[in-house]
Structure formats: C-alpha cells, structure tokens
Chains A and B, each alone.
Chain A
Amino acid sequence: MRTDSPDVERLATPPAFQQLGFGRKLKNNSATVVFTAAFGLAVIPLLWVLYTLLERGLAPLLTPTWFTNSFNGLLPTDFGGGVYHALVGTLQQAAVCALVCVPLGVMVGVYLVEYGRDSRLAKTATFMVDILSGLPSIVAGLFIYALWITTFGLDRSGFAVALALVLLMLPVVVRVTETMLLIVPDELREASYALGVPKWKTIVKIVLPTALSGILTGIMLGLARIMGETAPLLILVGYSSAINFNLFQGEQASLPLTIFMERSTGTAAGEARMWGAALTLVLLIMLINLLATLLSKVFAVKTK
C-alpha cells in the first residue's frame, strides 16, 4: 500500500505567499502611506516655527543697534534698541551654571562607571538622575526659591537662576559622561595599571581624555537646552531692560525673559522686539549645537 500521497509526484505549485491578495496588498500600501505622511506631518511644526521666526524676527535683528544696545529707556511704543543686556545675562548665567555643573556632573559619571558599578548607591544615583531629567523646570525654580530666598534670605538674582539651571543641566552631563566612559575600552585602563599608574591618574589622564569629545558635545547640548529655559527665571530674577553685569545683585535680563516680558507690553514695537529676541535665542542655540558637532569632530578619538 502506498503511504505517500499522490501529489508528491506532482510539480510544486507556487507557494501561496507569492500571490498577495488584494486585502493584504491594500493594508500594506496604506500602512506605507500613513507612516510616511506621519513623518511629513511631524516636520511641519519645525519648519513653520522657523519660518515664523524669520518672517517676524529678522527685521529687528538686522537693525544696527541690535547686538550693541539694550532696551533701556525705550517707551513701549518705541522701535529700536537691542538685546545686548539679555545676551549678557544669558551668557553669564549659562557660564556660571556650567562652572558648577560640569565638574559635578563629570564626577558623578566617573563614580557610576569607575567606582560604583553595581553598588546600591550607584543604582540609586542612576535612578535619581533619571528623576532629575524629568524634573519640571518650575519645580527646580521653586526649590531654589525655597532654599536660596526663603531659607537663606538672599535676594532674587541671576546667580539664583544659574543654580536652578544646574539642576536641569546636571542629568544631561551625567548621562553623557556615563555613556562615554562606558565605551572606553578596558584594555586602556589595564595597560595603565600595568605600568603602575594609580587609578585616579588613569582616570584623569587616560580615561577622561579618551572620552573628552563625547563629554564636550554633551556639555554643549546641555548648555543649549538650559539657555532656552524660562520658567525658573520668572520666579528667581526680576527683569530689567538695562545692562547689568552683576550676577549677585539686582535685576538681570536674559533672552527668554526678554521674550516673555516684551510680550506683555502689547504694542507693535514690543512685539517686534519679542520676535527679534526669539530669533536671536534660537540662532544662539543653533550655533551652540553646531559648535558641539564641530567639537566632536575635532576632538574625536583616533581609533587605531
């Protein structure tokens, strides 16, 4: 008795999956269309925002006084003036923030990779860095307010702002340092130890320089992020349209605060200044992003 079925002898018909039914084809094609359209849709707001900024902010930006003057003494209806006062504040606050944040953040990263590894403190610290990166900027501002102004009894100032910005920049620096240190090959460390170099010197002279380009890029990106923050500024420092170089005393403008405050004038001149400051801020952030890309190329580790 034959046990094999007769169609063994027949030539194989083309398998079913070579003939796509209309339904499956339709579903597949519509999915392609939907996903491609979604990407297009996501890009629209970016282009739209940039177009709006150029359309409304370019005219004030191109006036000769824009980068050399402040808005001091201008009536709400007066056109003209410039954002020099705001640039001073933004750059000073960002610089002080970086001064505190970079050593601290890098050391936390060093701890997580070189010392902590799987210890309980390292796990807790990683979790806390995650929480910090999701901390609303207004809460960071409130905390500094509760600490600096209510508890220590100090005045609102640009320095208080810089402290709040530290909280927002810290997770960026820690995360990038951690990622970069993790990709430094262990052979480098071992070679250094074998030569009798102490661990701390190995980290400072071998490990950190190897990871330098990535860390620098991360720092720049963190700076770009905090420069646009507005919420802590609203409660931690007063706005002044005059130039103030003193971080510790008096009101100090910065670009985001200027944008917010010029909006409240409600005049055509104020609106022009507002859009001009907004375009300046976005240009500054783009410039720093660009610098970050350049830095990472210049300092890139030469592998082999």
Chain B
Amino acid sequence: MVRTGDRVFQSLATGSGAFVVALIAAIGLFLLIRAVPSLQVNQVSFLFSREWDTSDIDNLSFGILDLAWITVASSLVALAIAMPLSAAVALYLTQYAPAALARPFAYVVDLLAAVPSVVYGLWGVYVLAPVLNPVASWINANLGWIPIFGDGNAPADSGANVFTAGIVLAVMILPIITGVTREVFQRTPSAQIEGAQALGATRWEVIRTTVWPFGRNGFVGGSMLGLGRALGETVALAVILSGASAPPEYSIFDVGATFASKIALSAAEFNHNLQVGAYIAAGLVLFVITFVVNALARWIESRSGKGEE
C-alpha cells in the first residue's frame, strides 16, 4: 500500500536530489550561452592573447593568457608552501599532540577557515606585505637569475605581488589540506602502527613506514581540493593584487589579476551583454578548471587509505 503522503514526500526528496544535479548543469549551460556571442565577435585569440580591452563593444578584444598566468602562479606558490606545512601539521595533530589537546588543536587550525577572505586580503596588504618586503627584495636580488624570481612588472618591495598573494592563499588553504590529511592519517590501521613499533621502529620510522604510505593519496587529494580553492579565490587577491599597469613579466613579483579577481573588480563595466559575456567566458574557464580539479581531488581521495596494496 503506497500512501499519498509517502508519494508526495518521496517525490519532493527525489526532486531536490535531481535539482542539485540540474543546478550544476545549468551553471555550465548558462555561462556557455552567455559567453558564446562575445566569443564570436572577439577580435583576438581568447586563449593565447594577453590583451583585455572590452571598452569598445564593436571591437571587443579579450584573451586570458595573463589572467591564467597570475591565477596559476599564485596558486602554485600557495601549494608549494601549504602542502609540506599541512602534512607536517596533520602529522603533529595525529601522531604527536597530547591526546587531550589533539581535538582543540585541530579546532584551532580549522578556525583559520572561518576568517573571511576579505579580511585575509586586508591583512595581507596592510600587515603582511610590509613584513615580507625585505624577504622579497633578498630573493629578487640573490636568486633573480632564475626567471620566476626575476624582476616583475612592479618593484619586488612593493609588497602587493604574486609572492605575497601566494603566502596569503597558503594560509587560506592550509585548513582544508590539513583537515583531509588528518582524517586519513587517523585511519591508519593500528595493527600496522603497533607492528612497526613492535619491530622497534622509532616514532619517525613508524610514520615513514605506515602512516605516510597509508595516507599519501588522501594528502594528494586534499592538496588538490586546496588547489581548487586557491584557483577560485577572489577577494583576497582582488585586494592584494589590484593596481596592475604593465603586463606581467612571468615572475612571482608580478602584479595583475586572476580570473576571479578580474571579474570581481570589473563589475562597474557590466553595462552591455557583450561586455559581460567576455567576463562570463573567463568565468566559464575558471568553472571548468575548478570542476576538473575538484573531480580529480575526490577521485584521488576516494582511493585513499588503501596504501600500497
């Protein structure tokens, strides 16, 4: 016997589930529909041009090469800092922290994620950047022969550059990577750990031989999640990196705009559908990239905890 109430409620629940699926499809579809007309009248190569000029609707020219560089560079700087740090913090929380304090300590790290990104942006520009200036100048002076540490389109000690942005992003993605990694490390089978201990392994050797091989996939998955977050971060970067004049020189001392910050800062230009379409096209690229990165992250994560096999 199927009651009416049951049928209604079940349809509601199933409908909500289907709605979520439709929602993601709608996001991709709407962005695509709005981007295509602008892409059709684009005067330059969308993927390979460094130009971005949407002021003249009859002569729209927009390419994403520079946006892609700033986005990727700042995210990679963030990953390079956050990945080792997160792994070490997760190991500390699961293997070293006193049992009574492990939970509160983990909570403190999670609190980093509660700070709004606009606040991180302010802190980055007003407080952190001046402190980093001597470091940036030193790197630029002594390692400048490596292209990415060479002169950017702004002085190395101007504070607001990809280097500062990357460090701020690292702080922002640290709780995500640490959270995922910590959970996987915690699931290391205690038989393996005790086995290693019984063989006389030191704590470090226990980590190297059991915890790390077991949790490595989870760590990589968590880092990908962090990367997805860093690629899409908007306001912190809009605050830190705004004020670019010259095109970037492909150094970490560049100033510029990421996909996300470019869109956010250009809202005043949203007057004509064709103009908006250019930004929507950039947003679509960002959507596709973060979709792929997140999907990959979940896939790697789902294989985590299986160790070597």
Contacts and interface: CB of A to CB of B under 8 A. Distances in A.
Given A104-B16, A198-B6, A256 B118 contact: yes
Contacts of B251: none
Residues of B contacting A: mostly: helix
Interface in A171-201: 174, 198-201
A20 interface: yes
Interface residues of A, number: 89
B119 interface: yes
Contacts of A200: 3, 5-6, 8-10
A278 to B, nearest CB: 5
Interface in A6-29: 15-18, 20, 24-25, 27-28
A195 B298 CA distance: 41
Contacts of A259: 118-119, 122
Residue picked from B19, B239, B283, most chain A C-beta under 10 Å:
B283
A132 B19 CA distance: 12
Closest CB pairs A-B (n = 9): A17-B200, A136-B232, A228-B116, A38-B88, A200-B9, A134-B294, A231-B234, A111-B13, A107-B16
Interface in A154-186: 167, 170, 174
25 contacts: A25-B202, A35-B88, A43-B108, A46-B108, A104-B16, A110-B13, A116-B14, A116-B17, A121-B18, A127-B295, A130-B295, A134-B228, A136-B234, A136-B287, A139-B232, A139-B283, A141-B264, A142-B283, A151-B30, A230-B235, A234-B235, A256-B116, A260-B239, A282-B116, A289-B114
Interface of A: 15-18, 20, 24-25, 27-28, 31-32, 34-36, 38-39, 41-43, 45-46, 48-49, 52-53, 104, 107-108, 110-112, 114-116, 121-122, 124-125, 127-132, 134-143, 145-147, 150-151, 167, 170, 174, 198-201, 203-204, 224-225, 227-231, 234-235, 256, 259-260, 263, 274-275, 278, 281-282, 285-286, 289
B21 A49 contact: no
Nearest to B175: A42
Interface of B: 3, 5-6, 8-10, 12-21, 23-24, 26-27, 30-31, 33-34, 85, 88-89, 91-93, 95-97, 105, 108-109, 111-112, 114-120, 122-123, 126-127, 171, 174, 178, 199-200, 202-205, 207, 225, 228-229, 231-235, 238-239, 259-260, 263-265, 267, 270, 273, 276, 279-280, 283, 286-287, 290-291, 293-295, 297-298
Given A20-B202, A116-B17, A174-B20, A260 B88 contact: no
A138 B232 contact: yes
Contacts of A286: 114
B85 A134 contact: no
Contacts of B3: 198, 200
Contacts of A274: 122
